[in-house]
Structure 1
Amino acid sequence: MTFTAPEWFFLLPVFLLLALVWRGQELWRPLRVLLILVVTMLLVDPQIDKQQDALDLWVLLDRSGSTEDLIDKGLPEWEKLLEKSKPSRYDTMHFIDYASNVVERKPGTETAVYTGNRKLTRTNLAIQNIMALAPEDRPSRILLFSDGYATEPLAEAAAKLSRMGIPMDYRLVREDTSEDFRVARLHTPLRAQIGEPFVLDVTVRGYADAEIPLVIKRNGQTLTETKVQIINGTGHAEFTDRISRTGSYQYSAEILPKKDAHPGNNRIERWIEVVGGPRVLLVSKYTNDPVAAALRDQDYDVQVVSEPGALRVGQLAGARAVVFNNVPAFEVPARFQDALNFYVREQGGGFMMVGGKQSFGSGGYFQS
């Protein structure tokens, strides 16, 4: 049994002291003592642990292409060590192989070979499977053997494990090599004004002095290709940029070494928001749309998009309103429509539809 608020037990010596000081209150009477004990127990909120006194250990084995040989090499030794370390015969171990899909090893299939696709490392999916299989009446623990490079985010799984009270241990399985170059840092300001110059600072680290090619991109478009000189294990590169339109922009820095032990750490990404005056995003297929001229006359910063299919979610950042001028629904990307819904309902942005034959009614927006 555990107590959620054990500090309330301090009430008992307080009541004892009151009974000694104010004897006339007769706090030692059986009914009053019982009432004090009941109130104290309610306040400390006792919790009865219904789980069995045994442990389920879920062993996750990364079977992706980058760790296949390493897992096969170390697994026999790991199994012996885990079996030897079992506290009691009631504790059980479950081995789960995963890469693109998840497969639980059943008893008697210890020598079976994982036949799934090895191109992905879906650690999040494997953890979700364990949370679904783990019984509520037995404590569980996860032991992960992986090289540490997952192809999907783990934030959601980590939050769920924390809520369920399932601890997770890991062991990095990598080749014994130090021949690695990596992008250690990409520093950008979080926010900049329209036309304001800012500096991107890239830090590259490596095991030896070398000259490494570096590519810097903005929204997937290459801005510059240069080389970083690594001296004493560290190299720096700087790039100055300025943006003339408001919105959110993604910058990436990637190195291209000829020989590298872990290519998964050769790229890093950052976002920057460019802000200005009140901005309106006008989506129109008209040439020299008069709506744009009317808005500019009111001192609005108008961004005109003539190709609806090129709309990006980042263009909504910093916009006060969005105007669709006779644009049909099938030309607007579904991802942008979903973001527009969130922009209006949750962020309080403005949205107006104008035009004729392809506006709201006949433009196909009823099912959007």
Structure 2
Amino acid sequence: MEITRPLLLLLLLLLPLLYYGFRRSLVDLSRTQRVISLITRIIIVLLLILSVADVQYLKTDDKLAVMFLADISDSISDDGLTKATDYLNEALKLQGGNQEAGLIAFTDKAEIIQALSESEAESDAELELAEIKKSWLDTDEDAGDTTNIAQAIETAWGMFPANANKRIVLITDGVETQGEAIHTALRGKDFGIQIDTVPIHPSDEPEVMVQRLDMPAQVKQGAPFNVEVIIHSNHEDVAEVRLFKNKFEVAKQEARLEAGENRVIFTETAEESGTLTYDAICRTTKDTRYDNNRALGIVSVTGKPKVLLIDENESQARYLTRVLEDAKIRVDVRNGLGVPNELADLQNYELIIFSDVSAIRLTEKQMDLIRTYVQDLGGGFMMLGGENSFGLGGYYKTPIEAI
């Protein structure tokens, strides 16, 4: 049984009201007629409630639907692809009777190679994962650089018929560079989907791969930010990691790599607005493939951050202004009468600072605008202490207190 909107079943609590009406009714009918009327009304109301709650009875038949998910990313060696191909073809031949099987190949994308069907009809055409990967690389030379297991699982969800027993067989080395496979698999379990894994053990040959660059998509001019180079290695090694910005080398680090995921962090500062392209290259003493030792990333740099400082004391404000300007942050200084009356004015700033400003200097509308600016638009707000700040300043139970 499946209930789409279970909360609507609370309407069943209204059924006693029908009985109450039955007991209080003054209708001139015999008791038998009144009982029949009550039962009829209860049945009608019950059916209506079950209908709006979308209660369904699903009968699961004996059919088994199996989706094979094959990882063909660059982290799978040629030998691994061969073993996965042999396993797949053997498994598909063993499917029979009341069973259906299908295949999805994946890297950072997932593609349906064979839809669910009775595999006996497909037994004459054996699958070859290496050929599938080659056809992908012919159209996109970077097709195997990354791996998204979660997307492959989600693609398989849409392939299953409603009444079948559902099973996913995941053939992979477990090296994931995008998505959250474990979280997605747990969600699949809630839908009654069984997930089994067939591990492809990594090659014994030494291999180092730059998986990606982690960095913000957008930064403010003059603000520092981190560029993290994510490196996966199957052995301990020492690497030289070089970072290029717009094709010019800007930094270099020597990093000791452990088996598994490693992070090498560079701190950068965007001096000019515009678009910056970062390129990280990793070189080690022991590596089998060098074409996967590089990753690119792009950062958009907007103008310098701007702060609105509201302070009644001009001499006091200059100290904070000097500190902010030394950090390459532009500052507008106003007194309490200069608090913006329009949301568009507030959006010109990344941060609003109140320094010892009493609430009586603000209107209710201005406080509401600041709350909207923070809670809905993601702006920053800071209140500095003083006798005119916080509760002493009259902000108790105001929109600003709610921020």
Q: Give the structure-2-normalised TM-score.
A: 0.47
**Is 1:73–2:83 an aligned residue pair?**
yes
Structure possessing the higher radius of gyration over alpha carbons = 2
1:108 and 2:123 aligned:
yes
Tell me if structure 1 keeps the 8 A contact 2:235–2:258. yes
2:249 to 223, 248, 267: 223
Aligned partner of residue 214 in structure 1, secondary structure? strand
Residue of structure 2 equivalent to 1:193: 220
Offset, 1:24: 0.9
Q: Which aligned pairs between 1:165-180 and structure 2 lie closer than 5 A?
A: 171-175=198-202, 177=204, 179-180=206-207
Q: Shift in Å at residue 130 of structure 1?
A: 7.2
Q: 1:224 to 1:48 in 2, by over 3 A?
A: same
Q: Which secondary structure does the structure 1 equivalent of 2:171 belong to?
A: strand
Q: Deviations over 1:24-66 (max 9, x none)?
A: 1479723322332232222321235487541221324456784
Q: Using a 3 Å threshold, how does the CA distance of structure 1 residues 205 and 69 change in structure 2: closer, same or farther?
A: closer
Classify 1:248/1:143 alpha carbon distance in 2 versus 1 (closer, same or farther; 3 Å): farther
Hey, what's the Cα distance between the residues in 1 that align with 2:265 and 2:152?
A: 40
Q: Which secondary structure state, in structure 1, belongs to the residue aligned with residue 300 of structure 2?
A: strand
The answer to whether the 8 Å contact 1:60/1:96 transfers is yes
Aligned ranges for residues 21-32 of structure 1 at < 5 Å? 23-25=23-25, 29-32=38-41
TM-score by length of 1: 0.50
Equivalent residue of 2:124, what SS? coil
User: Which of these residues, 42, 48, 56, is aligned with residue 51 of structure 2?
Assistant: 42
Indicate the SS of the match to 2:131: coil
Contact in 1 for aligned 2:240/2:255 (Cα 8 Å): no
**Which residue number corresponds to residue 12 of structure 1?**
12
Q: Is the 8 A contact 2:77 2:203 kept in 1?
A: no
CA–CA separation in structure 2 for the residues paired with 1:42 and 1:17: 20
SS at structure 2 position matched to 1:116: helix
Gap change, CA 1:117 and 1:6, over 3 Å in 2: closer
How far residue 95 of structure 1 moved from its aligned partner, in angstroms, is 5.1
Aligned length in residues: 269
Matches within 5 A, 1:1-368: 1-16=1-16, 19=19, 23-25=23-25, 29-47=38-56, 49=58, 53-62=62-71, 66-73=76-83, 89-94=97-102, 104=114, 107-109=122-124, 116=131, 118-119=133-134, 120=137, 141-147=167-173, 171-175=198-202, 177=204, 179-181=206-208, 183=210, 186=213, 188=215, 191-196=218-223, 198-200=225-227, 202=229, 206=233, 210-219=237-246, 221-224=247-250, 226-230=252-256, 239-260=266-287, 266-276=293-303
Q: What is the distance in 1 between the residues matched to 2:216 and 2:267?
A: 12
- Taking a change above 3 Å as real, the CA distance of residues 191 and 140 of structure 1, as seen in their structure-2 partners, is same
CA deviations 1:165-224 (Å, max 9, x no partner) are 7957654423254845455885545544334455545565756654312121234x1424
1:230 Cα deviation after fit: 0.9
Letter of the 1:19 partner, please give it.
Y
Amino acid at match of 2:99: D
Aligned amino acid, residue 252 of structure 1: D
Structure 1: distance between partners of 2:63 and 2:165: 7
Query: CA offsets per residue over residues 105-163 of structure 1, 9 Å max, x none?
Result: 853326675683643367999999978976677565543424467999999xx9xx98x
Q: Distance in 2 between matches of 1:115 and 1:218?
A: 36
Distance 1:192 1:76, change over 3 A: closer
The 8 Å contact of residues 209 and 229 in structure 1, kept in 2 or not, is answered as no
Q: Following the alignment from structure 2 to structure 1, what is the Cα–Cα distance between the partners of residues 80 and 62?
A: 34
1:81 & 1:112 partners in 2: Cα distance?
11
Which stretch of structure 1 is more off in the superposition, 40-49 or 255-264?
A: 255-264
TM superposition shift of 1:250:
3.5
3-state secondary structure, aligned to 1:250: strand
SS at match of 1:145: strand
The CA distance in 1 between the partners of 2:269 and 2:50, in whole Å, is 65
Query: Aligned in 2, Cα 1:49/1:146: closer, same or farther, shift over 3 Å?
Result: same
